[in-house]
Amino acid sequence: MSEVKAYGAKASDADLEQLNIKRRTPLATDVHIEIDYCGVCHSDIHQVRNDWKNSKYPVIPGHEIIGHVVAVGSEVTKFKTGQQVGVGCMVDSCQNCEACDEGLEQFCENGMTATYNGKDKHLGGHTFGGYSEEIVVDEKFVLNVPDNLDIKAVPPLLCAGITTWSPLRQWNVQKGDKVGVVGLGGLGHMGIKFARALGAQVVMITTSPEKSEDAEKLGADEVLISKDDKQMKEHANSFDFILNTVPVGHDVNPYLNLLKRDKTMVLVGAIEPLKGVNGGALIVKRKRLAGSLIGGIEETQEMLDFCGEHNIVSDVEMIDIQTINTAYERVVNSDVKYRFVIDMQSLKK
Q: How far is the CB of 142 from a second copy (least distance, A)?
A: 25
Q: Which stretch binds a second copy (CB under 8 A): 7-15, 38-46, 287-295, 319-327?
A: 287-295
For residues 202 and 182, the answer to whether their CB atoms sit within 8 Å is: no
Question: Does 46 sit near a second copy (CB under 8 A)?
Answer: no
Rounded to 10 deg, the angle between the 160-170 and 186-197 helix axes is 40
Least distance (Å) from a second copy to the CB of residue 282?
3
Which parts of 222-251 interact with a second copy (CB under 8 A)? 249
CB nearer a second copy, residue 38 or residue 187: 187
- 203 near a second copy (CB under 8 A): no
By beta-carbon proximity to a second copy, the closer residue of 43 and 84 is 43
DSSP 306: H
Determine which residue in the list 201, 274, 317, 337 makes contact with a second copy, applying CB under 8 A: 274
Residue 177 · residue 194 · CB < 8 Å: no
Minimum distance of a second copy from residue 281's CB (angstroms): 8
Rounded least distance, CB 185 to a second copy, Å: 16
For a second copy, the binding residues in 73-132 under the rule CB under 8 A are 99, 104, 107
Q: How far apart are CA 218 and CA 199, in angstroms?
A: 14
Number of residues this chain uses to bind a second copy (CB under 8 A): 34
Amino acid at 287: K
Q: How far apart are CA 33 and CA 72, in angstroms?
A: 9
Q: Which residues of 90-112 are buried (b: 16+ CB within 10 A; e: fewer)?
A: bbbbeeebebbeeebbbbbeeeb
Beta strand 339-343 pairing with 316-320: parallel
Binding residues for a second copy (CB under 8 A): 99, 104, 107, 170, 249, 261, 264, 267-293
